[in-house]
Amino acid sequence: MKLLLVDDSRFSRVTLMKNLKEVIGSEHTFLEASSGEEALPLFEQENPDLIFLDYLMPGISGEDVLKKIRSSNNSCFITVLTSNYQKPVIDRLLELGANLFIQKSINKEKITTIMDAYNHFRAMEE
Amino acid sequence: MVSLIMDRKPTNAKDFLSNSRKLLRVAKSKLKGFTKDQNFETIESINSLFQTLRESSFYFNFDEIENLLNKSESFLFVHCSDPKALDSTHIELLINICTLLQEMFKQQENKGQNDGLEEKTEKLIQQLEHQITELQDLPSILDPSSHEQSKTTPFDPEMLDLFISESFERLEDAEENLLLMETAGQDSKQNDFLKTCFRQFHTLKGNANLIGIQPLEWLMHSAESLLEGFSNNRQIIKGDHYRILLKTIDVFRQALTSLSNYQKLTTLESQNIQLQTSIISDLLITENIDIDYSSALDDDQDKIYLESSDSENDFIDISKTLNSEKQPTIGVQAVKQKDIRIGLEKLDQMVNLVGELVTVTNIISHQTHIQMSEENDFSQFVNQLQQVSNEIHEQTMSMRMVPIANSFRRMSRLVYDISKKSAKQVSLTMSGENTEIDKTLVELIADPVLHLIRNAVDHGIEIPAERIAAEKPPTGNIHLQASQIGNEIWIIVRDDGKGLDREKILKKARKNGLIDPSLTPPDETIWKIIFEAGFSTAKEISALSGRGVGLDIVKQNLDKLSASINIESQKGIGTTFTLRFPLTLAVIETLLVKIEDNFFSIPLVNMIECVELKKADIEKNHERQIARIRGELVPYIRLRKIFEIEGKSPDIEQIVVVEYNQQKIGLLVDQSLNKHQTIIKSLGKMYAEVENFSGITILGDGKISLIIDVNNLIKNCIEKEAIITNNY
């Protein structure tokens, strides 16, 4: 499985990756991008299965990244991370094609839930 | 003090006192009926009562009451996050506080005499402090969200380091944007700066949550809400707001420092954070901004929303509808990382090792010419080795380079602070912030640059009225520019103030005996005088500069870095200071010289030229240590004598002419050999007292050469009167 972690905070990425590895093991491909600008070409090139996308980033925002990816690709599972919990934002993001929306305090339980959702999503596809 | 204010606001104070006592009575009865089930609300209400009382006490200058309340709040603060930890002793303590407060208020009301209240207060405060520190030692209080981790070590040290360093960067960016925001005023750009600042606070909040430091998360949450409120309501942001937000950044920084020192927040930091959070919260109320507590409070809730086309609901709680499945394993591990962080210590070690490698390579290359006939190919390999080691050296040195921007950013805050303190309006502009300089240099140049900027605000920039009279814009400008020119980094500090006052400096310098009264030296010489120890022309001593200890320290620091300074100034137009630093500190270009069998290295930055000195010339000048070089008289120092090297000097000696304080001075040596790049090694602590040398270097053939600290050497010689100079 190929995972792409997009967050401008290195601390956030590292924490997320650490949690991810503890839950799903480290035998996957973990890609990192520190901005929307970095994420988009990396997405084109690597075509990841699962994306963790920070909502608030400088430059190309998480929302823009989401729009851009969804304009050409529907098979990638996109989880939007944010510590902002506002219903209109969630509504808009889900409308734009985000598969999941999670609040940013990441822990193993949340990762497990996300992975369950991901597997379910893949199962539904088949 | 108290009575004065009471007289001014007699009714207010009286109302406050009697009201407070009533409120305390209610609080006491609540505490007495305290059960663990409804604990949180009770504690919250007591907390807010204490907070209100403290603020009012502050207002009425009831210092002791304020102090007691302050401590009580801190005590509650550590408890609020985990009310279950409250036991009957704590409740009793709270009841005692209320009783004491009632008594204190009563005393104030009657303006009565002190009847042992002080003693009681002290005792209670001690008890509180004891409770606070006891609780602070339990990291789980500060870190309630990750109990499993906190049992052994509160934070993963590596993650904490990452958190701290990233937070520092984000705070700097936020600070810069705040300052830009204020400068931009109602400009449309202001919103961009506000957004960036908001985003940084937001990320800081998220990160504080991830690592589990709740007080910081709360602090950032309130700061973020404040900014959000401004942005939503299109409200005008006032100077006070900036000050509060800047203070918030300071508080966060202090917390980070304490975290990096003690791996946890100290009591003091927790108190400061809490206080700052409450200040912002109050501001949110007065500014009518709704704070969205839900996003910060709901830590334990798993807010996960799933987009699902096959469900009738827009959102479904996936944890309930999905069963965990077997985890898939596809693909291979390939972690991509663009950059990694390396500790400076490791890098320094690396630089040292590479230095050794270069040295060893030089030694080998020196030896090869002897063995060349036997093994012809050998020299070729040595050449290659030399090339590779040189490249490694270059690369390693470049790893130490960081953009100067970090150092510059601090300056905008400084200018902001000092222009607020003085009656002057000053803006700071910058260019070339991306110039890369040696990491150690970043720290070292900050101080001199800071001094120069302070000096520019204090002595250069005029007050608005003066500026308008001189047909200048009321806001003065200081421009900070960095650039790399050849092997040097130039940092230019330019102000558009009144310029240096030639006459004033000259007068003062003559009075202080810094200049011979009969001389009228050129401008450059006069400008340099302001860097002399004990020179200050300021009429009044201000908090910023003008104590006469500013600029001479700059000069001293610059000398240590073998940096030079150049000043240009025009009356009424402004002053420009140009600082020139060597690109890297560890490698300098030197001239290798020899006296008997001893090698010395003279840094090329100091050197002007190298000329011969014949026996006959010395005799012509009657053994006085002065040489005539192209018609100019140059005093020289016989290094053989200073370094106490025995033996007889050759018939033809060499004078290495160096610049010292705008004057040419010669250093007499037996032989000058060649220029070379020198890797400086420090003399070590044992020789820290040695004044005339700044370090040693190892030569190609393994011999050692001492690097002469030219400025110090000449200074010492002048002091010992071992040299004849014109104007000293």
Query: Distance between CA B653 and CA B673 in Å, rounded?
Result: 12
Are A49 and A43 a contacting pair, CB within 8 Å? no
- Cβ-based contacts under 8 A for chains A and B: 150
Q: Any CB–CB contact under 8 A between A31 and chain B?
A: yes
A63 in B contact zone (CB under 8 Å): no
Q: Model pTM?
A: 0.49
Which residues in chain A have Cβ-Cβ distances shorter than 8 Å to B209? 83, 104-105
CATH code of the domain occupying B148-297:
1.20.120.160
Give CATH for domain B2-137: 1.20.120.160
Whether residues B314 and A120 touch (CB distance < 8 A) is answered with no
| pLDDT averaged per 10 residues, chain B (length 728) | 37 71 80 66 75 71 77 70 66 82 79 69 78 53 38 65 88 87 75 86 87 87 84 73 87 87 79 85 74 43 48 36 34 40 73 77 66 61 78 76 78 81 84 80 80 85 89 90 81 90 82 76 81 61 46 74 83 89 70 90 83 79 77 86 86 88 86 76 67 78 83 83 57
Domain ranges of chain B: 2-137, 148-297, 344-400, 402-582, 587-719
Furthest C-alpha separation in chain B: 109
Tell me, yes or no, if A59 comes closer than 8 A to chain B by beta carbon: no
Is-contact B411 B480, C-beta < 8 A? yes
Using a CB–CB cutoff of 8 Å, tell me whether A47 touches chain B.
no
By C-alpha distance, which of B61, B213, B78, B239 is closest to B146? B213
**Which ipTM value was assigned to this complex?**
0.76
Question: Between chains, do A113 and B199 touch, taking CB under 8 Å as contact?
Answer: no
Residues of B in contact with A15 (CB under 8 A): 159, 210-211
Q: What is the pLDDT of residues A24-70, one digit of tens each?
A: 888 888 999 988 999 999 999 989 999 999 888 888 888 899 999 99
Q: Tell me the CATH number for domain B587-719.
A: 2.30.30.40
Q: From the CA of B401, how many Å to the nearest CA of chain A?
A: 21
Q: What is the dihedral sign for C-alpha B269, B272, B278, B280?
A: negative
Chain A environment of B199 (Cβ under 8 Å):
56-58
Which chain A residues have a beta carbon less than 8 Å from that of B232?
Answer: none
Residues of B whose CB is below 8 A from A86: 292, 295
* A76 has a chain B CB within 8 A of its CB: no
Same fold for the domain at B402-582 and the one at B587-719?
no
Distance from CA of B477 to the nearest CA of A (A): 29
Q: Cα separation of A45 and B634, whole Å?
A: 69
**Structural domain of A30:** 2-125
**Under DSSP, is residue B160 helix (H, G, I), strand (E, B) or coil?**
helix
- B31 contacts B94 by C-beta, under 8 angstroms: yes
β-pairing verdict for B476-485 and B426-431? parallel
CB A36 within 8 A of CB A61: yes
Query: How many structural domains are present in chain A?
Result: 1
The pLDDT mean for chain A works out to: 86
CATH code for residues B402-582: 3.30.565.10
- The pLDDT, as a whole number, for residue A50 is 93
- pLDDT given for residue A78 in this prediction: 92
Backbone φ, ψ for residue B481 (5° rounding) = -130, 135
Length of chain B: 728
Collapsing DSSP to helix, strand or coil, B714 comes out as helix
Amino acid B1: pLDDT: 36
How wide is the angle at C-alpha B39 spanned by C-alphas B38 and B40, nearest 5°?
100
Task: Give the amino acid at B142.
Answer: L
Chain A interface test: which of B222, B336, B338, B340 (most A C-beta within 10 Å): B336
Chain centroid, CA B335 distance in Å: 34
